Chains A and B, each alone.
Chain A
């Protein structure tokens, strides 16, 4: 009774504290409900996004497995884990795809790179970037087909010293008004191919072997 009396005094600290606490609890409950309602759908959408970007660099004709089912985790040059998605026909690995990134003009450029078992580029696509619209965004396939120039290339082709934009004495076009962006993409893809070369055995091992010898597995 006395508690109620205290609470009825609207100026009292207890009333204010109860009010704030009550609303905070209510807010937390609402957020939990919202999260539970949308969590599965959001996970599904993200998987669809990933599948869509993977299918651009690993053509569907190349594989008969579920690309998302069995990813491999390998360390990159700095030791950070890289999630590798493998395309298989039967037990044979027909291609791998993983994210590579490089520092662009205004933020990190994220790409996905598909490589065949011989180390040739199957395809590369930009997943996200914050480059200047109209200048640097020509790295998107939607804006320009520049990114297709990498298809079929590998670490030895072109030779390492020519694996750069033309301004740096290499083979790849830069865009008028934007050199840093294509330079970042070329660098990122080169590092991606070096990653493939370092892990070629693990990456292209047939399914049965790689499952047995692969201790680090993603929970997916």
Chain B
């Protein structure tokens, strides 16, 4: 089977990437999946693990749902999508328990919650049920990476402020080779409890959302200015 989507062209791939990573980011733009987001982002490592597990489910669910979209009628599409997602999450849960056991001990409680992550059903409904398998898997990858990015960012902020470390226990997730990632940024830090508890998560998320809005506004202003000077130049030339 060809990986190219039905409507394949270069700009489609680019638009999917931009949507997933930034302009339609699951957390930063759609404000979805906040439950797992706030629950696991006490440390950057946990955020990374949760993000990668969700990405795996997003890619597989996008791919499978795009494959079966020809057979599924609109009347029963939701139960079938939920079934597909639930099976994938269970398989990821079993696989992590078997082969990434230490990480599973930390994230175990939250893996089944991926089922309730509305972003996955959302992508199945709004993208995978209307596009080819390749494009849907790619969309899942980009949406998942965008989600991972938000999780790691929030986890890093909370971990630095809350416990003064960064990527603690990263070697459990990525293997001993990545132990150099584990950093103690503030030695002998007493910790700041609020940042680790859920309210700290909400506060940090608020700042990150505000930061994204700020960047978007700046970009839009710059574009507008460019267009208006270009327009003025064209007017003067005529």
Whether a CB of chain B sits under 8 angstroms from the CB of A141 is: no
Whether B73 pairs with A35 at a CB distance below 8 angstroms is no
- A-side interface size class: 20 to 34
Q: How far is the CB of A134 from chain B (nearest CB, A)?
A: 4
Query: B83, B97, B196: which contacts A27 (Cβ < 8 A)?
Result: B83
A-B contact pairs, 23 of them (CB 8 A): A10-B73, A11-B73, A15-B73, A16-B75, A19-B71, A20-B76, A20-B79, A23-B80, A24-B83, A30-B91, A31-B87, A34-B91, A34-B94, A35-B94, A42-B101, A45-B101, A49-B101, A133-B42, A133-B193, A133-B196, A134-B191, A134-B196, A135-B193
A38 within 8 A of B: yes
B109 to chain A: closest CB distance in Å? 10
Beyond A132-B193, A134-B196, is A42–B98 a contact (Cβ under 8 Å)? yes
Residues of B within 8 A of A132 (CB): 193, 197
Can you list, as one digit per residue, whether each of A1-39 has a CB less than 8 Å from chain B (1) or not (0)?
000000000110001100110011001001100110110
| Chain B, range 88-119, C-beta contacts under 8 Å to A | 90-91, 94-95, 97-99, 101, 105
Q: Cβ of B95: which chain A residues have Cβ within 8 Å of it?
A: 34, 38
Residues from 53 to 82 in B contacting A, C-beta threshold 8 Å? 68, 71-73, 75-76, 79-80
Number of inter-chain CB pairs below 8 Å = 64
A218 interface residue, CB < 8 Å from B?
A: no
**Which residue of chain A has the shortest Cβ distance to B79 in the bound complex?**
A20
Which residues of B pack against A, CB within 8 Å?
A: 42, 68, 71-73, 75-76, 79-80, 83-84, 86-87, 90-91, 94-95, 97-99, 101, 105, 162-163, 191, 193, 196-197
B43 CB to nearest chain A CB (Å)? 10
* Given A34-B94, A133-B193: 14 more A-B contacts, CB < 8 Å: A11-B73, A16-B76, A20-B76, A23-B80, A24-B83, A27-B83, A27-B84, A34-B91, A37-B98, A38-B94, A38-B97, A42-B101, A133-B42, A134-B196
CB of A4 to closest CB in B, whole Å: 15
Q: A41 an interface residue at 8 Å Cβ cutoff?
A: yes
Q: Is B42 touching A19 in the complex (CB atoms < 8 A)? A: no
Q: Say how far A36's CB is from chain B's closest CB, in angstroms.
A: 10
How far apart are the CA atoms of A37 and B72 in the complex, in Å?
29
A-B pairs with the 7 shortest C-beta distances? A41-B98, A38-B98, A45-B101, A38-B94, A134-B193, A27-B87, A34-B91
A16 to B, closest residue via Cβ: B76
Chain B residues lying within 8 Å of A30, measured Cβ to Cβ, are 87, 91
Question: Which of B80, B84, B191 contacts A19, CB < 8 Å?
Answer: B80
* Known contacts A30-B91, A34-B94, A35-B94: A23-B193 contact under CB 8 Å: no
Binary interface profile of A, 123-137, with partner B (CB < 8 Å = 1, else 0)?
A: 000000000111100
**Which residues of the other chain, A, contact B83 by a CB distance below 8 angstroms?**
23-24, 27
Which B residue's beta carbon lies closest to that of A33? Answer: B91
Residues of B within 8 A of A48 (CB): 101
Name the residue on A nearest B105 (C-beta): A49
Of all chain A residues, which has the CB nearest B95? A38
- Chain B residue numbers with a CB within 8 Å of A41 are 98-99
**Most B CB atoms within 10 A — which of A11, A23, A49?**
A23
